[in-house]
Amino acid sequence: MAQDFTATMTMSDPFDFKPKPLQFTVIGNPIEHSLSPQIHQQFSQQSNIKLEYTKTLGEPGGFNQAVQHFMASGGKGLNVTVPFKLEAYALCDQPSERARLAGAVNTLWFDAGEIYGDVTDGIGLVRDIERNHGVSIKDRRVLIIGAGGAVRGVLQALLDAGPQELIVCNRTHGKALDLAELFVSHGPIRAVEMKLLPEESFDIVINGTAASLGNALPAVPADVFHELNFVYDMMYAQQPTIFMKWALNQGAKKAVDGLGMLVEQAAAGFEIWHGVKVQAAPVIAALRQNYCSHTDGSSSAGK
């Protein structure tokens, strides 16, 4: 159930000395679908850290108030999802360096009345690709499709992983050019127009567009796929995404969704909040069984 802060404000009992679990929430709109509470509860069991993690439906124009209210009522930290990541960045007193570069924040916490923020989506993506799927980014040629907030949030982490080259392409080419310029001091990144992609070759292809949400495909030439490449859709769903199916039909070796990225970004956030490392792999496996029943790879995703 999404939590409405305006409706749940209660006076606390001054004689209730029982230690309360640490309070966390994820805020977004929509929020019902969020798996973050389940993920953090599993991390809580792994680490033996007692916590309460709710869902909060943020109202347009009400984000700042909801965060301030959560802080005032003793909350420890929030995860922030669509469409509030930019507002979360703007609200931070102390954004991390990588949050500054991303212009977005997905993890907030409070210390001495100040709001701290970080963005863990990029680490989540890189850890999922490298640790969970066993694909090294180092010295590989990587294509990322899209140039919105989601892509901006992961570029630094991808460049830090040491690709031979990171190519950004987007339906609106100017936005890809802007991103490449913004990140060029962090590694070998270049914007390429969609129609010129067949002149390049890629080991890893990442879909960071919002197209899968609308069950649409970005108009990249099918030549970007071949029997040796690994394809990653940053979206996840109960079924393989349209992009995964298309890539496999065009001959990609393996195509996976972004469920592991979701869990890994949460693990990185858990580490920031609690100073404890947790294992993402068992949580991904449990969610895969209970929620996204399809397995990664060509066998089921290609059907």
Out of 25, 106, 132, 170, point to the residue binding ligand ATR (CB under 6 A): 170
Query: Should residue 175 be labelled a site residue for ligand ATR when binding is judged by CB under 6 A?
Result: yes
- Quick note: the x/- pattern for ligand ATR over 187-226, rule CB under 6 A, is ----------------------xxx----x-x--------
Q: DSSP state, 256?
A: E
Q: What is the secondary structure of 16-64 as a DSSP string?
A: --SPPPEEEEEEESS-TT--HHHHHHHHHHHHT--EEEEEEEPPTT-HH
Does position 122 bind ligand ATR by CB under 6 A?
no
Nearest to 183 by CA among 102, 246, 116, 124: 102
Q: CB atoms < 10 A from the CB of 288, how many?
A: 18
Using CB under 6 A as the binding rule, the residues of this chain from 33 to 52 that contact ligand ATR are none
Nearer to ligand ATR, 27 or 283 (CB): 27
- DSSP reduced 3-state for 299: helix
Is 150 an interacting residue with respect to ligand ATR (CB under 6 A)?
yes
Task: Among 77, 122, 124, 149, indicate the residue that binds ligand ATR (CB under 6 A).
Answer: 149
Contact, 205 vs 137, CB < 8 A? Answer: no
Residue whose token pair is 């991904």 = 284
Q: CB burial class (10 A; 0-12, 13-18, 19+) of residue 47? A: middle
Stretch that binds ligand ATR, among 31-39, 91-99, 171-179, 248-256 (CB under 6 A): 171-179
CB of 9 to ligand ATR, least distance (A): 31
Q: How many CB atoms lie within 10 A of CB 11?
A: 5
Among 58, 75, 146, 258, binds ligand ATR (CB under 6 A): 146
- Pick from 100, 171, 186, 190 the residue near ligand ATR by CB under 6 A: 171
Place of tokens 């990541």: 85
Q: Which stretch binds ligand ATR (CB under 6 A): 60-68, 164-172, 237-245, 270-278?
A: 164-172
Cβ closest to ligand ATR, residue 191 vs residue 256 = 191
Torsion on CA atoms 81, 203, 222, 169, rounded to nearest 10: 50
Shortest gap between Cβ of 82 and ligand ATR (angstroms)? Answer: 7
Q: Is residue 116 helix, strand or coil?
A: strand
Q: Given the rule CB under 6 A, which of 40-48, 140-148, 237-245, 258-266 is the region that contacts ligand ATR?
A: 140-148
Q: Which is nearer to ligand ATR, 137 or 145 (CB)?
A: 145
Q: Which is nearer to ligand ATR, 84 or 116 (CB)?
A: 84
- Residues ≥6 apart with Cβ < 8 Å to 192: 167, 168, 169, 176, 200
CB neighbour class for 41 (10 Å; exposed up to 12, middle 13-18, buried from 19):
middle
Q: Cβ closer to ligand ATR: 148 or 187?
A: 148
- Rule CB under 6 A: choose which of 136, 164, 172, 295 binds ligand ATR: 172
Closest residue by Cα to residue 264 from 223, 232, 294:
232
Nearest Cα to 54, choosing from 41, 67, 72, 73?
41
Catalytic annotation, pick one of 55, 76, 85, 254:
85
Residue 44 or 81: which CB sits closer to ligand ATR?
Answer: 81
Catalytic residue at 85? yes
Residue 209 is which amino acid?
T
Binding site for ligand ATR (CB under 6 A): 146-151, 170-172, 175, 209-211, 216, 218
Q: Which residues have a catalytic role annotated? A: 85
